[in-house]
Structure 1
């Protein structure tokens, strides 16, 4: 079992169950497969509208870790999920380079873990998820700009792309996580997870 400190329960420590780990691994693997299909879409959007249009799908790359957190609701969920995701993507291969997998994962998990720690793991509303989804973008955007040469776009394009990516993170990551999570919880598939138990309460 993996042990992490749990602020939302009355216990000193919470345990990640085997089911938790399986879910995190499944979402990480699904993300790696989705990324393979998103790469040609990203290239097509780049050809049609350059960096601005490609920025519209940014949120989809981040969704798996936040969805795992929303379902499991235990500190450390983002660390494990994004970590597994980075390793899986590295093994599967990526058009953006292996280093980008780990740097992006690190940027995402720091923001997500920090955001839910600030609210003591008690807020799971759509505003909280949308703010978190948007907040995940800027740190990785800074590193990506250095790694992939975004700085040659010019400051005006950089700022527009950043705004579009933040909005994409809010909608295609944050809001979509809320919709997917609640739909799964309502179906009864998440009875053994915190999101499912909260729905039944």
Structure 2
């Protein structure tokens, strides 16, 4: 290994994906596509009951599969692959929000998730980092969604409150839940061949 390779390894721990990694990412993406089918009517029901603010409370659940994969696998590129597969599967299954939204949302999620974990050099996986990642996934997609779905008609006050609620949902239902699920699965022994089981929380 030359000097450049050693420097790169110290900065970012690049590791090849195993077959198990790919299978897990595909399974989580497929599970998300199925979950989204059931989340869509729930989202519509919440919107009918409490408008966009109530509907915003479940936002974190739409993003959890990619962040959970990142937490379990802990390799650069995990978010890109998982959210990418998720977008393709959702597009084939059909989405109440349109095919374009599947890919735009996935692109926003993967860029932000990789940026957050890259900032910590893919070595920090504690609760604060996961909460940060869960909340950070929201704003960029919200910006695009506001234009794609006409959120701007809500008015500035409602728009800002909805954004805050979505960020909180991302923190709790994506970041925190990913950490708790990942740790629970690791303790069960199901993830003994993944980084979440082999490494410390960091």
For the criterion TM > 0.5, the same-fold answer is yes
**Are residue 141 (structure 1) and residue 146 (structure 2) matched?**
no
- TM-score, reference length from structure 1: 0.93
**Residue aligning to 2:16:** 15
Q: CA RMSD in A?
A: 1.3
Listed one character per residue, the Cα deviations across residues 46-88 of structure 1 (whole Å, up to 9, x for unaligned) are 0100000000000000000000000000000000000000000
2:54 equivalent to 1:53: yes
Alpha-carbon distance in structure 1 between the residues aligned to 2:141 and 2:12: 28
Counterparts of 1:135-174 in structure 2 under 5 Å?
135-174=136-175
- The Cα offsets for residues 145-181 of structure 1, whole Å up to 9 and x where unpaired, read as 0000000000000000000000000000000001000
- The aligned residue for residue 38 of structure 1 is 39
Question: Which consecutive residues of structure 1, in runs of 5 or more, have no partner in the other structure?
Answer: none
Counterpart for residue 4 of structure 2:
none
Structure 2 runs not aligned, ≥5 long? 1-7
Taking the aligned partners of 2:144 and 2:33, their CA distance within structure 1 comes to 21
- Superposed CA deviations along residues 69-116 of structure 1, whole A, max 9, x for unmatched, are 000000000000000000000000000000000000000000000001
Could you tell me how far 1:198 is from its partner in structure 2?
Answer: 2.1
Corresponding residue for residue 80 of structure 1: 81
Which whole-Å CA distance do the structure 2 matches of 1:19 and 1:8 have between them? Answer: 21
SS, match of residue 15 in structure 2: strand
**Equivalent pair of 1:20/1:72 in contact (CA under 8 Å):** yes
Q: Helix, strand or coil for the counterpart of 1:15?
A: coil
How much does 1:14 deviate? 1.3
C-alpha distance in 1, partners of 2:24/2:164? Answer: 32
Change in 2 beyond 3 A, CA 1:64/1:122: same
CA–CA distance in 1 between the matches of 2:91 and 2:99?
5
